[in-house]
Structure 1
């Protein structure tokens, strides 16, 4: 048996021990869960509540234990005393409480990511362990103390290496899911992941620097470190598209965390989701922070004093509605600082009281309480009074208000005098038109100012009453059990009754527009407008954010091209930190250099300084005579790259990125070529895949933001630039398109396109 083989065998024993303990914990948890469920609904309320609490706890634990199956163990640290510490996805201990596996987020695991030969403390060696399912298939050692005898041992065993584990992960085929980087986190990434939760953390980095992975691992680290707080408040992850969210949705569960809410800006308001996009200029106008004033003006305009005020006859007494009473009631209602629809209740009550007082003033006697109540009821039910009070303070819903704004150019011009006539024409649409993505922040703004739909108030009151009954039940249960000691509170018990675990917290948060999150992760943050940011800041008043993006990739006209300009306004200069990731782990050096040269020439800020690997054949260009030849060339390249990178096991991804007007024709050409050149079953399998999980995709530059592929074909780059609404947007779109591949980039263009743009 070779020395290397003996090392593999030794590590296999350690891995088997960890998986054995994981299996035992799963079986134990499953057994306990089954026992709790078998007890049924018998017993006292206290016993049933206790069983429900344990069932929730066991279900959550079982979900966590199942999610960490893949690559459970990935590292080992050896110290100067010869002690070994294995690093993995979760912490595991034996039945006698001896450590088996250290959670990657624990302080004891920090040297696995941050130790260097010049700063390694008592750690002499770091070992990377590669698993295939549960089998150890590779080990690589980094000796940090050059004076240690571990140098000779690792050298003779053939395990001594530098960045082999990282490079192996970069060369693996892409799938429709983003994989975690927990086994290969680099020191600059780890420092960001473990940074203070109290500050907003901005991560600027070029394509392939691991921004998204860092953000998600930071979320997992914070959930581990601040478990008590974040399990109750939740974590929100905001991504650029539903495809992107599908791509990342397994990362946090694989790190042992469940129950995080994932949303795009377009579906962040419960009950209102849309995939309709405005044209770029309209989206920029709607994203302007002055739109908050537009919405506020539109709400304020529905509080007024009508010219025609009624006089109502009650039992022979004429009761006038006076303008002075209206103004006073409106002023008093505004002073409550309640949302519009809630403040309206104060206005209505005061107006009915004022009109009742006008009635009383005309009597020659003092009416009793019953008569006063009758008069109030008659006034409330009077059609003229009701209609006039609605004119004085109109009850509204947010969708109605937004529809009114953009379907009536005269109103839009009056409420937003800063808009030009061209702007008003751009924003105007037919009445009843569906909401767009850029409407959602305006809708949220309106909901914030208006408060709940008046018709929903009664339903909410019923829910509040039910909640009060549940709290009383919890207090009574604790009192009967004699456990009201402060260790278990009625709120804690109520949370268990209602299943307040991480996943149910996420479900509640996702359905509640006013939910306040403990932390928010924003990916591709450079695309967010001022109105998008207002919506997000509302959801996290503590200002605990992880914000990742690249100002060189900004394609939204209203997006961010300077982090200080945006972040200082949002957080204040002292309350956010900028971190730059500078190493490109995704693209081969040849691809990275080509894309960076182009972007720099176009005036974009490039923060990436180098790529970690070189692949001399990774870039190819083909120029064809015309568009007819273009479709044929793109289809042939797509088929060749599919045969090379795409596997029937679901791994491997190829993308064709093209101008919008060519997407459909190129999609048909690629489909026909795949059908002609692949096995019929394989061609049918690829054709039947859902859009978000296609192994061979034909799409625009905007759709691939945040994603990566084994190979990418960029068709007609000059036309992609010509179609963009602005020069910098064009450069950003092409920069994004060119930096998606991990293995190969092919540029296919016509002669006319080549003459219009030099790459």
Structure 2
């Protein structure tokens, strides 16, 4: 019986080797997580407080080391020239992974050695011999694509995998773009912490993603500093924040707080009311800051009586004119009301100590503190510089015409004062129906009394819709830190929308901020952005049009329908899109939403509201036009554009927003004539 020669194992190909590295990297990440989970805090903590802190840190570390099954652990590879300092091969991914010996298997995308993955080109290879991009299906590595940056014979081509990743259908909340960051985006992402940057970006240019990735980068590069000072992402509404909330955790950052401007200022009063546009515009005007400053300082009364301090058998007298000099000097320094009020008793006590020393006594700091707490000094301070409650101050300004007229003299005209006064003054702070604009005024008054704590870095998204007073509220939160301001002047939809970034940045307190413009569109198809750009000359003259760089031009259909079949046509378009892959957004003017809700329910079509996209088995979202900003869907049906644009001075901007939410296809259905600005010449 003859022996059969064994069949040799096939030689593994490049894709097999990359899959093996992926499997080994996942195993290494699992080992890193197990090492953290195995830590015994009893051996390294002296008390229960330290133990609790360490236990929380361990929990956060375990979460940060989570291996998300459908998220690629690495998405690229860099092979440096052998003669360079790096001289090696690096896999680029969302987080650092090392083996048991501590050697890196995956490099964090934020590390300096990873930067050429985003910036290198044939004209400037940055010592990179080969850049490899990986394609995934779910969590499985299925393809790769190479660029030989130092090979003059290789022609420059557009990355097919990069285009596929950009155009990949999306369902659910916003995902990161770490694998597709472009050079102009990377420049902004990796900017220094000390400077404030403002990003003007049209629809689909990735400005929101750039802002979020910038936070992740800054936390990597300046983690200790930002751990002390804090970071914050500010969005326009809760729906938007729910839409973006998974981006930073996917990048391993779990501690970044997210809020709206209303959240920031809402701690002083309960917001239960709303302003008409005229009142909101005046309340949001930066001139209100001067009205409030005058109103706060009006509580200071110059003294007319001396301050007499009795200590034992001695009486020490500080004459009224000297107390007045102290008060006048504190007012001239223009420090915060509360800080000056705390300084006043110490200044009066110091005047008493000068007299004690002149009489031959030798008082020390303890004596000065005792004098500052003396009943006569405390009574004088209460009479001269009484405490101010910010909410009560604003309540009086908005309720008392004489008080408002006194402090708005030369600042607001009579019509503007009438616009902000309450028709029926409330009895108390608690019974008042405060509006969002009122809450911003209370926040400003609170800062005049006591300084608002500053964070290390703030990201402000959809900034074009903030009022000057809202900018001031955000600016207080980063007065000693920096900010990333994101917005598009063409998408301003509020009556007080920003007209120019220079003015907005001055209100923010960052007049020297660098303004960058993103004009390359990666998400909105060419046909769609070209159609929406017909509105630009009417809403933002001089603003550059977005230039779509997508290979797939997308699909646009503008269709007139009979009024009696309007809802049926909308339902038919939804049904057609739901037969295709990807998310579907049905956008309509806010007053039309209830009728469409009823029609969808009657037809048995399940749908979500904005911010609920975490439900993967329901792919249709019914979006009021007022909440469409910042959201994206593969397929969009825009119902009745004339209704979206009508009845609002900024309606065309709202229509521009609605038209630019589609990633693949846009259907515009209208029974009414299209707005003239949208019709072809």
With the shorter chain as reference, the TM-score category is 0.7 to 0.9
2:658 corresponds to which residue?
Answer: 737
1:631 corresponds to which residue?
Answer: 567
Q: How does 1:585-600 map to 2 (within 5 A)?
A: 585-600=522-537
1:96 corresponds to which residue?
Answer: 101
Cα RMSD between the aligned structures? Answer: 4.2
Mapped pair 1:401 → 2:398:
no
8 Å CA contact 2:468–2:507 kept in 1: the answer is no
The SS at the match of 2:436 is coil
Q: 1:422: how far off?
A: 2.9
* Most deviating of 738-747 and 693-702: 693-702
Mapped pair 1:238 → 2:176:
no
Distance 1:644 1:286 in 2: 47
Q: How does 1:475-486 map to 2 (within 5 A)?
A: none
Give the one of 452, 475, 484 matched to 1:546.
484
Q: How does 1:211-250 map to 2 (within 5 A)?
A: 211-250=207-246
Number of corresponding residues = 641
Q: 1:752: how far off?
A: 4.5
Mapped pair 1:758 → 2:655:
no
2:620 corresponds to which residue?
Answer: 696
Q: 1:291: how far off?
A: 1.0
Gaps of 5+ in 2: 1-7, 307-317, 353-369
8 Å CA contact 1:239–1:522 kept in 2: the answer is yes
Q: 1:179: how far off?
A: 0.6
1:466 corresponds to which residue?
Answer: none
Q: 1:281: how far off?
A: 3.2
Distance 1:18 1:708 in 2: 33
2:123 corresponds to which residue?
Answer: 118
Distance 1:671 1:604 in 2: 42
Q: Deviations over 1:441-464 (max 9, x none)?
A: 322211112239xxxxxxxxxxxx
8 Å CA contact 1:113–1:190 kept in 2: the answer is yes
Q: 1:76: how far off?
A: 0.9
The SS at the match of 1:526 is helix
Mapped pair 1:654 → 2:585:
yes
Mapped pair 1:746 → 2:667:
yes
Distance 2:436 2:561 in 1: 38
Q: How does 1:486-565 map to 2 (within 5 A)?
A: 513-514=452-453, 516-565=454-503
The SS at the match of 1:203 is strand
Q: 1:36/1:278 Cα in 2 relative to 1: closer, same or farther (>3 Å)?
A: same
Mapped pair 1:141 → 2:146:
yes
Distance 1:191 1:352 in 2: 56
Question: Which structure dedicates a bigger proportion of its chain to helix?
Answer: 1
2:366 corresponds to which residue?
Answer: none
The SS at the match of 2:524 is coil
Q: 1:117: how far off?
A: 1.5
2:434 corresponds to which residue?
Answer: 435
Q: 1:274: how far off?
A: 4.5
8 Å CA contact 1:586–1:742 kept in 2: the answer is yes
Q: 1:222: how far off?
A: 1.3
Distance 1:225 1:235 in 2: 13
Gaps of 5+ in 1: 152-159, 310-320, 356-372, 453-512, 647-651
Q: 1:250: how far off?
A: 1.5
The SS at the match of 2:265 is coil
Q: 1:5/1:408 Cα in 2 relative to 1: closer, same or farther (>3 Å)?
A: farther
Distance 2:274 2:525 in 1: 34
Q: 1:576/1:389 Cα in 2 relative to 1: closer, same or farther (>3 Å)?
A: closer
2:59 corresponds to which residue?
Answer: 59
Distance 1:568 1:528 in 2: 13
The SS at the match of 1:751 is coil
TM-score (norm 2): 0.82
Q: 1:326: how far off?
A: 8.1
Mapped pair 1:712 → 2:642:
no
Distance 2:319 2:174 in 1: 66
Q: 1:276: how far off?
A: 5.6
Distance 1:670 1:125 in 2: 52
Q: 1:618: how far off?
A: 1.5
Q: Deviations over 1:19-54 (max 9, x none)?
A: 11100000110011xx216x698xx55xx6665564
8 Å CA contact 2:203–2:546 kept in 1: the answer is no
